[in-house]
Amino acid sequence: MKDNTAMLNLDIPSFPLNGRQLIEASAGTGKTYTIAALYVRAVLEQGLMPEQILVVTFTVAATDELKGRIRLFLKNALSAIETGVFDDLGFLQEVWQQRDRSIEDSDYKKRLEHALILFDQAAIHTIHGFAKKILEQFSFETGQLFGTEFGDDDTEIIRIVAQDCWRKMVVIQPPEILAATTAIWSDPAALARWLTLKLHYDKDMWYPPFIRDWSEKELEQIIAEYNSDLIKIITKIKTEAQNTDHLGLLLDWYEKGYFKKNLYRNSGQAIAKTDFSEDDIRTNINELYDFINRFTNADSSVEIDFTFADCEILQSRMKKNFEKNENLDNFPLFKTFSELHKRINDLKLYIAVAIQVKILGFCRERIQWQKQQSNLLSFDDLLSELQNALQNGKNSNHLKQLIRNKYPVAMIDEFQDTDPQQYSIFSGIYQKQSQTTALILIGDPKQSIYRFRGADIFAYLNAANEADNRFTLKINRRSSPDMVEAINTFFSFPNPFVYQDISYIENGSVADNAAGIKLNGNINREAITINYAIKPDNEGIPAKDRAYNGFINDIVDLITDGKNGKADINGKPVVAGDIAILVSNRFQAEDIRATLAASGISCAYVGNDSVFDTEEAIMLELMLLAINNIENPDLLKSLLCSYLFPYELPDLKEIVTNDIAWNNILMQFVNYRDIWHHKGFIAMFYKLIHEQGIACRLLNMSSGERRLTNFLQLAELLQKAASALEGTNELIKWMQNTRNKGHTGKDEIQLRLESEENLVKIVTIHKSKGLEYPFVFIPYLQEIKIFEGKELRGDLTTPVINYNKEHGGRVLDFPLQNRKQKDAIANRAYEEALAECMRLLYVAVTRAKYCCNIYLAWNSGRDINIKDSVMLWLAREYGKAIDFINPPKIDDEVILSWINIFEQSNVISCKEIGFYEEQRSLQMQDQKKKTAIKTFSGKIKRDFRLSSYSSISGTVLHKAAQHKAALDITAVDYDQNTITNTANSDIETPIIAHPINNEIPAGITTGNLFHKILEKISFSDTEEKITTEVEKQITAYGFDKQWQQQINAIILSTIEKKLDNSIQLNQLQDNRLLKELEFHLPFAKTNEQEFNGLFNCYEKYNRSGREFGFGTIRGYLKGYIDLLFCHNDIWYLIDYKSNRLENYNNDFMQKSITEHDYDLQYLLYTVAANRYLKNRIPGYNYKDNFGGIYYLFLRGINKQNNNGIWFDKPDKEFISSLDGFFNAYQ
């Protein structure tokens, strides 16, 4: 660093509010407090208002937190100045004492008062929110087109471009390039997901010319050269095969004992241990010869996709002492095959990298073109457009001045997560050593852990170099004094964060955080405890298993001690909610959660994972498909076989073969579809999970709370999407696209905490940043890895991305074309990755307020993962550079030397887990505290119901079949939506009267369609408008276009038909119509005898032989009236029927009405309509103002006669008597 950027201790009252300043705020040192305090100073001293002080952070949640904290500071500052009591605002007392006395005190107060009044205009934004505001406000200066649309999602454009690229750049390639390309992306969808990730943080990368400028022709030439080399190597292999008795040589080595006798084979179900025999050697060598013989024609092109399993397996089975006793040159195939393998991998790699760069460039250009055509800017475009306007725009200097005038002071929070583009924006606007403006950069390079999102630690270091001053906060105000001292000790070795430019400055602490922690159980009292296990114990149990069980038992013991009064913080018992377990990924989290659940400890997982990546998202998509495509029984069967439903395969097989049972299930899901169509997704979802008991079933499963939380979160997201989409098919498509496009990082789709209870929290290290927990457990220290794979070892053929000082940014280094520097390239990349791992470790350890337990396990020098973890840096020989490609051996002595460093510490202890302990559980600890289950002795009345016409009429069938049953709301109710009264009404009979209309498919969906059309159209619409609506609904309901003309004709016939001498639907005014009128009538407590008695008193409605059998009920009667309309001050009720009848004259219609209890329906609906009208229309009476009920059998209506039209007006006395049952329930 430059001398002028030496660290200064930050003093809030004297901090310069001008120039370019950088604040490095270590974990827990009060970063947010400092930002709020400087904000108050800017208001108080400079008279700036909230809209003039720019505060930028990187998430919406962080902006909300900052707004709350700053508003509170302003309020407290005003109160402190008025009362003279400064309390927690100690800085303000000094600021107030040093104020400019030429300004009246009342003016200072007015500044704070006005800032509070205007705070809703505060310029506290995310980086993208700031860019959007500038582009919108200064559209002329930034060159924005009028009407530019700002969007946060360009997924659809990326999908279209990926498909276009696949057609134009992938499928047309020669076989070699095509094979290499499809090995990277299996299809256009995979390419689209890759583009979504790459387009953001690869945009500023520098590519070597040989990749950047390659052409297909040049690549084909390189492939030809490689093929020539391959043919030469294969010819050499052939010669060696002819000149050497490889089989005899191998058998001789076998006899000498050079082969490992144990062979692990995959048996399909598991890995089985077997003997390695002479037959295995013969098989392998014969397969090798077969391979050689396939390439005897040197003039043919050579395929790239070779397999070398046989040769490599043979070589891997050699014992270590083989090469000491034998000359490997006697078996040349080993060496030559390795040469062939390496050469082919080189070619594959070259093609893979080149095609990725070329496709990325092509897609970036096409995506930008598509956005320009749509006049759309996505999040990343906002920054690019602003950067371009500031650097290359005609009005760039004027724009910079406008922004400085608008925001004289700018504070950039979490600046360690910046990238070169973001820094170039702010550094371009705010000048160094300015006396009139201030750019304050706040961050902690030790916590820069988002490299995978494009964060660039080197951009931060460059900013630190260019700052006028560098300040640091030295007091940790979050952790206990012992914890602060332990962290200081833990990171006290030289260059703890790899780079000298990122130093560790010891923090002080505050006495107020000193807690009285009582831990007299099995947990150590020290702030940091390193629990370690070395090599298998005497019983052969691996170190990792011992460490893992020790970690689980420590948590069980801590919670148990809290329950027993042996563990508390300042007298408050330790509970599960005080504990956080920090992991690297959700796979570790799932493993730990399952283990803790088995130990009786409930957990909640907190991570950045998307809820659309869960198993519940797959199940919910299947549920939507099954309900929306009810005619496809396979989908429904697949759904019923899932864990959401209680059916085992034999049960489901029995149900499917039983027509009645299967039809009952089918009708339930038909009802769900109807509700979805008419009431929306969320109504259907909650009805389904309630009726099918899904919530209870999930909660009884392992991780049940997690599963149910996922379902409910997905349901909310689907409902939100449904409000902006048209139809069920569109919602399903949205669900599928959202699942396929991968994790977008939006807060709303991240997995929610499944419970607010006191649960142990399992948190990814990335997600834990910024949080604190009383007790932290880090169970996998050795799993904080540098790389997941072997990218930088072996042949060093993998391209690497790292920072290059020469180019001032990220560079794609390619060792194949830069062999002289390949070791330096790989070392540089390895060093960057290791540095980030050390920063991850720092973030993890500093989350603890009181205690941090770390667990480390290795199996003596044989654990190769140790050298790829942070242990390579922690246990290194200080002062000596590390060759990352050939790292020093990390054995027991090296690691124990590192552990012994802390022997003299009072705040760090080291504990060896020398033997294996069985996992304990809370049940074991609590088995003496059994609590008797309380017995409920009260009585709950079960007769309150939400009933409907169809649920009442359904009891007629039950009684006739001698199955008298109480009414059940969970039964299929065909009257719970606008059209379900037609659910059972499609009668399969010989077609006589109207063969054309009766050809239209029967079923509930057809009834839904007719009702939806009649609901949506205006009866007075033109034929053209009605035809358009018919076409729209036919598409939405999945009908074939062949039925459009006939359906259209039925609708037109219905609204044009005169129902009597004067009533014609298309002549009615819209304001005299009520469509789909929902009602709830209170049902007085009554029984079936009273109800049947009323009907049997009237000959017209006598139900002898088909009485109701619902027992005793009370509650509400629910229903929907298709149409209630007024004509000449008389009201009429209409119900639409789509039944297929043998004939549509009055006799056949009456027969249908009797068979389906439609008489009960229209009588109940008449009571509802009569009561509704009586309550709303002055002077209304049934006799003079109610005209009656029309049942319109739509298929039968025609111009020639009155077929299809059925009418009745119930007796006034009967309606009055029936109305008496619907008083307020008792």
Question: 830 Cβ partners below 8 Å, 6+ apart?
Answer: 786, 787, 792, 884, 885
Contact in structure between 1036 and 726 (CB atoms under 8 Å):
yes
**Which of 36-40, 968-972, 1159-1163 is the least confident region?**
968-972
Domain 6-149+378-473 annotated CATH 3.40.50.300: yes
pLDDT at 58: 84
Stretch 265-292: mean pLDDT: 55
281: its two tokens: 């050697």
pLDDT band at 677 (very low <50, low <70, confident <90, very high): confident
Reduced 3-state DSSP string for 786-843: CCCCCCCCCCCCCCEEEEECCCCEEEEECHHHCHHHHHHHHHHHHHHHHHHHHHHHHH
Report which of residues 520 and 899 the model is more confident about. 899
Backbone CA torsion sign across 799, 805, 806, 810: positive
Contact in structure between 878 and 913 (CB atoms under 8 Å):
no
pLDDT at 997: 63
Question: 918 Cβ partners below 8 Å, 6+ apart?
Answer: 549
Domain 616-741 annotated CATH 1.10.486.10: yes
pLDDT at 1060: 84
Which of the given ranges, 436-440, 713-717, 810-814, 835-839, has the highest pLDDT on average?
Answer: 436-440
CA-based radius of gyration for the chain: 38
Residue 966: pLDDT over 80: no
Backbone CA torsion sign across 619, 623, 624, 629: positive
pLDDT at 71: 95
Share of residues in the chain with pLDDT > 70 (%): 76
Stretch 34-62: mean pLDDT: 94
Stretch 1152-1162: mean pLDDT: 87
Question: 852 Cβ partners below 8 Å, 6+ apart?
Answer: 483, 486, 527, 528, 529, 775, 776, 777, 778, 845
Please, how many CA atoms are within 13 Å of residue 176, restricted to the half-sphere of its CB? 21
Nearest Cα residue to 154 out of 354, 352, 355, 384: 384
Report which of residues 561 and 1101 the model is more confident about. 561
Which of the given ranges, 332-341, 355-364, 881-890, 971-980, has the highest pLDDT on average?
Answer: 355-364
Domain 947-992+1070-1219 annotated CATH 3.40.640.10: no
pLDDT at 747: 56
pTM, two decimals, is 0.67
**Pairing mode of beta strands 438-443, 409-412:** parallel
Count the Cβ atoms, other than its own, within 10 Å of residue 633. Answer: 13
**Which of 932-941, 1009-1018, 1190-1199 is the least confident region?**
932-941
Report which of residues 1028 and 819 the model is more confident about. 1028
Which H/E stretch holds residue 121?
none
According to DSSP, residue 510 is labeled -
Q: Whole-angstrom Cα distance, residue 184 to residue 308?
A: 21
**Which of 399-403, 518-522, 845-849, 855-859 is the least confident region?**
518-522
Please, how many CA atoms are within 13 Å of residue 126, restricted to the half-sphere of its CB? 14
Maximum C-alpha span of the chain: 116
975: its two tokens: 């009257």
CATH number for the segment(s) 508-606+758-914: 3.40.50.300
Angle of the 728-740 helix axis to the 615-628 helix axis, nearest 10: 160
Residues in the chain: 1226
Stretch 24-51: mean pLDDT: 94
Distances (CA, A) of 100 to 91, 115, 810: 16, 19, 48
Q: Give residue 717's identity as a one-letter amino acid code.
A: L
Report which of residues 326 and 1015 the model is more confident about. 1015
Nearest Cα residue to 701 out of 630, 642, 744: 642
Stretch 825-842: mean pLDDT: 86
For the chain, the 3-state helix, strand and coil shares in percent, each to the nearest 5, are: 50, 15, 35
818: its two tokens: 């830069």
Residue 258: pLDDT over 70: no
The ranges assigned to domains in the chain are: 6-149+378-473, 154-218+346-374, 220-334, 508-606+758-914, 616-741, 947-992+1070-1219
* Chain mean pLDDT for the chain: 80
- Residue 1069, sorted as left (phi over 0), alpha (psi -120 to 50) or beta, turns out to be beta
What b/e readout covers 504-520, taking b as 16+ CB neighbours within 10 angstroms? beebebeeebebebbbe
Distances (CA, A) of 49 to 38, 41, 115, 116: 13, 11, 5, 9
Share of residues in the chain with pLDDT > 90 (%): 31
pLDDT at 540: 76
The position carrying tokens 């080197």 is 458
Contact in structure between 55 and 124 (CB atoms under 8 Å):
yes
pLDDT at 13: 95
The tens digit of pLDDT for each residue in 1116-1129 reads 888 889 999 999 99
Q: Whole-angstrom Cα distance, residue 1110 to residue 1088?
A: 6
pLDDT band at 207 (very low <50, low <70, confident <90, very high): low
Question: 86 Cβ partners below 8 Å, 6+ apart?
Answer: 80, 92, 93, 96
pLDDT at 756: 55
pLDDT at 9: 93
According to DSSP, residue 301 is labeled P
Distances (CA, A) of 6 to 23, 438, 470, 687, 1169: 12, 19, 6, 65, 84
The tens digit of pLDDT for each residue in 72-96 reads 999 999 999 999 888 888 899 999 9
pLDDT band at 485 (very low <50, low <70, confident <90, very high): very high
Residue 308: pLDDT over 60: no
Stretch 139-151: mean pLDDT: 77
Contact in structure between 86 and 80 (CB atoms under 8 Å):
yes
Stretch 648-670: mean pLDDT: 83
Residue 1112: pLDDT over 90: no
For the chain, the first-to-last Cα distance in angstroms comes to 84
Task: Give 796: exposed, middle or buried? Use CB within 10 Å, 0-12, 13-18, 19+.
Answer: middle
Residue 286: pLDDT over 90: no
Q: Whole-angstrom Cα distance, residue 85 to residue 105?
A: 16
pLDDT at 329: 60
Q: Whole-angstrom Cα distance, residue 1138 to residue 1155?
A: 15
Q: Whole-angstrom Cα distance, residue 84 to residue 940?
A: 62
Q: Do domains 508-606+758-914 and 947-992+1070-1219 have the same CATH topology?
A: no
**Which of 3-12, 547-556, 929-938, 1030-1039 is the least confident region?**
929-938
The tens digit of pLDDT for each residue in 402-434 reads 999 999 999 999 999 888 889 999 999 999 999
- Tally helices (H) and strands (E) across the chain: 46, 31
Residue 825: pLDDT over 90: no
Residue 936: pLDDT over 60: yes
What is the residue-wise DSSP string for 959-998? HHTT------TTS--TTSSTTGGGTT--------S-HHHH
The tens digit of pLDDT for each residue in 159-179 reads 889 999 999 888 887 776 787
pLDDT at 678: 84
pLDDT at 795: 41
pLDDT band at 797 (very low <50, low <70, confident <90, very high): very low
522: its two tokens: 């099995």
pLDDT at 7: 86
**Which of 125-134, 303-312, 389-398, 687-696 is the least confident region?**
303-312
Question: 1113 Cβ partners below 8 Å, 6+ apart?
Answer: 943, 945, 947, 966, 967, 1083, 1085, 1086, 1087
